[in-house]
């Protein structure tokens, strides 16, 4: 789809959306990033995984990756609060080793693989820099991350704790990590924003999702333009 086609589609769909909504979509889009992404491995508690999705959306993290080796991922609508509608959820459940498939694909996209772990070799979260693209990997609370992710990771990172309890809830751990790194990213000189083509594609998608008949309208204009 060339620039002229995208502008035509955006102009057409915008006619069905009020100005206030268009401004909101633009503001949210300006803060969206793929510089940081999240990987959830074998999460079997829908409420925790759904809370992570909600946190990602609130902090402008556009992509989330779910590895389903042993447990099928399920959304909890009451927790996710519609957040999954606005981010890209990539699921890995078709291969014998979905963990390896997911990590390999992220490395091909130049992500630095970060295992969030309690390992004694892990460095504190405060020392994690954001100059490179990061994929933060979280496992279930009880077993944690698999040996595969530990072996494939580029770095192991932990959130320091100062109490008797030796682990955070999954959603809390993700929330602390993502908020900390999002602040670092915003204060850095890193070019973390989406490129022009990504912004256009996402804006078209969001415009279509912002009206009940949006998907039908999008299909119509694409068909008419062919």
In three-state form (DSSP H/G/I as H, E/B as E, the rest C), the secondary structure along 10-38 is HHHHHCCCCHHHHHHHHHHHHCCECCEEE
Residue 88, C-beta contacts closer than 8 angstroms, at least 6 positions apart: 62, 63, 64
Q: How confident is the model at residue 164 (pLDDT cuts 50, 70, 90)?
A: confident
Over 80: is that where the pLDDT of 201 sits? yes
Which of 11-20, 58-67, 117-126, 137-146 is most confident? 58-67
Number of H helices, E strands in the chain: 9, 7
Over 80: is that where the pLDDT of 38 sits? yes
Structure-token pair, residue 94: 């078709």
Q: Give residue 109's pLDDT.
A: 97
- The lowest-confidence range among 104-113, 121-130, 160-169, 195-204 is 160-169
Average pLDDT, the chain: 89
Q: How confident is the model at residue 61 (pLDDT cuts 50, 70, 90)?
A: very high
Domains of the chain from N-terminus onward? 33-194 (3.40.1280.10), 195-226 (no CATH)
Q: How confident is the model at residue 95 (pLDDT cuts 50, 70, 90)?
A: confident
Distance CA 49, CA 193 (A): 25
């Amino acid at each position: 789809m060339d620039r002229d086609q995208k502008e035509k589609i955006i102009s057409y769909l915008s006619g069905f959306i009020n100005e206030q909504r268009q401004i909101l979509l633009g503001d949210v889009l300006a803060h969206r990033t793929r510089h940081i992404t999240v990987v959830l491995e074998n999460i079997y508690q829908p409420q925790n995984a759904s809370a992570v999705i909600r946190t990602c959306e609130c902090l402008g993290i556009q992509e989330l990756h779910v590895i389903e080796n042993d447990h099928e991922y399920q959304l909890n609508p009451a927790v996710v609060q519609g957040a999954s509608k606005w981010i890209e959820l990539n699921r890995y459940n078709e291969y014998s080793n979905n963990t390896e498939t997911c990590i390999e694909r992220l490395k091909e996209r130049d992500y630095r693989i970060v295992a969030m772990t309690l390992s004694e070799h892990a460095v504190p979260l405060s020392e994690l820099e954001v100059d490179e693209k990061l994929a933060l990997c979280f496992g279930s609370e009880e077993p944690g991350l698999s040996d595969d992710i530990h072996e494939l990771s580029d770095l192991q990172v932990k959130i320091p704790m100062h109490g008797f309890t030796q682990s955070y809830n999954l959603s809390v751990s993700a929330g602390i990590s993502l908020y900390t790194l999002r602040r670092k990213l915003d204060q850095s000189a890193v070019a973390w924003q989406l490129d022009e083509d990504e912004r256009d594609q996402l804006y078209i998608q969001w415009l279509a999702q912002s009206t009940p008949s949006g998907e039908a309208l999008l299909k119509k204009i694409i068909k008419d333009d062919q």
